[in-house]
């Protein structure tokens, strides 16, 4: 109950299930809301540092709105923080997710019309009808059909998802195709493949996969952890990771990455895990 990232409580209110465990002036169940902007920063404190991001259509359980900030937790991983209240709207159940690096919302089903918004891979929408080569959303906007897939249609391979982000710029706390960090990349890959995955590297190291003993040959999908860093094996010799060295999502030989990171003083691999099938 001490990790603020998973402790749904602040100085004014706590989640009702924490009553008796966490002291608070008030307790509540909160309300479900959805993100209505392309990307919303999830902050450690109102106006503070970015911890993570939540994407268009993703759900948040909101305990309170205070001075323009909504306090709550992201539904997909339970990450607790503050989001600008204006970034949230009604809880309209989604049916589809963006399954390509990015897409656009159009006011009419016409690719020549000026787009209304850009959406990242992983954004969620409610489709209500189809019009030619476009799906219509509940908001009356249009998305190219090839860019969406039903929420129930998971990817079979998390590494394939990670490769969708190749070349995306590195962004601390980023979770979108506009910018992503190492744990954001691993989370996007896992969630799209139906594998539960927390938001930060230390949480992922504690939760993901089965630990592999030294000497076990690397395989596609193995997760490599360092203190403060995480990467996915593409095959027995190559990693894909969002990294500050190149400031992008790139490939790197496994042996070279291990040697480089240790030479930088950031230590050895702390764990290697094999993901279970979803």
pTM (predicted TM-score): 0.96
DSSP-assigned letter for residue 244 = T
> Domain residues of the chain, as ranges?
14-89, 96-150, 158-274
Q: Do domains 14-89 and 96-150 have the same CATH topology?
A: yes
**CATH code at 14-89:** 2.30.30.40
- Find the angle CA(56)-CA(73)-CA(194) to the nearest 5 degrees: 65
Q: What is the DSSP string of 106-148?
A: BSSS-TTSPPSEEEETT-EE-EEEEETTEEEETTS-EEEGGGE
DSSP-assigned letter for residue 198 = -
pLDDT score for 276: 78
pLDDT score for 277: 64
Residue 138's nearest CA partner among 166, 96, 81 is 96
pLDDT score for 93: 97
Write out residues in the chain with pLDDT < 50, as ranges. none
pLDDT score for 211: 97
Tell me how far apart the alpha carbons of residues 39 and 22 are, in angstroms, rounded to a whole number: 31
- Find the angle CA(154)-CA(199)-CA(54) to the nearest 5 degrees: 75
- The domain made up of 96-150 is a member of CATH 3.30.420: no
pLDDT score for 2: 84
- The domain made up of 158-274 is a member of CATH 1.10.150.120: no
27-28/14-15 β-pairing: parallel
Query: What order of strands is seen across the sheet that includes strand 134-137?
Result: 127-131, 134-137, 142-144
pLDDT score for 161: 98
Question: Which sign, positive or negative, has the C-alpha torsion 180, 116, 54, 191?
Answer: negative
Question: What are the tokens at 59?
Answer: 């759900």
pLDDT score for 278: 52
Give pLDDT tens digits for 111-140. 999 999 999 999 999 999 998 999 999 999
């Amino acid at each position: 109950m001490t990790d603020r990232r998973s402790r749904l409580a602040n100085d004014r209110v706590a989640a009702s299930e924490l009553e008796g465990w966490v002291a608070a002036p008030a307790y509540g169940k909160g309300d479900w809301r959805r993100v209505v902007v392309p990307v919303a920063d999830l902050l450690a404190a109102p106006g503070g540092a970015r911890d993570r991001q939540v994407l268009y259509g993703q759900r948040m359980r909101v305990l309170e709105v205070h001075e323009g900030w909504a306090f709550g937790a992201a539904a997909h991983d339970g990450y607790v923080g503050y989001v600008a209240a204006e970034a949230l709207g009604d809880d309209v159940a989604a049916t589809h997710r963006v399954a390509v690096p990015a897409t656009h919302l159009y006011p009419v089903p016409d690719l020549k019309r000026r787009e209304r918004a850009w959406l990242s891979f992983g954004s969620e929408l409610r489709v209500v009808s189809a019009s030619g080569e476009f799906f219509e959303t509940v908001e009356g906007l249009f998305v190219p059909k090839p860019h969406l897939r039903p929420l129930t249609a998971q990817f079979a391979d998390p590494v394939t998802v990670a490769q969708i982000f190749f070349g995306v710029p590195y962004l601390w706390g980023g979770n979108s195709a506009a910018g992503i960090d190492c744990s954001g990349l691993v989370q996007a890959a896992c969630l799209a493949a139906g594998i539960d995955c927390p938001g930060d590297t230390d949480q992922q190291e504690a939760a993901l996969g089965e630990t592999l003993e030294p000497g076990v040959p690397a395989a596609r999908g193995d997760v490599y952890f360092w203190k403060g860093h995480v990467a996915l094996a593409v095959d027995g010799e190559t990693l894909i990771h969002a990294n500050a060295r190149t400031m992008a999502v790139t490939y790197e030989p496994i042996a070279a990455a291990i040697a480089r990171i240790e030479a930088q003083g950031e230590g050895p691999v702390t764990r290697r895990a094999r993901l279970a099938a979803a």
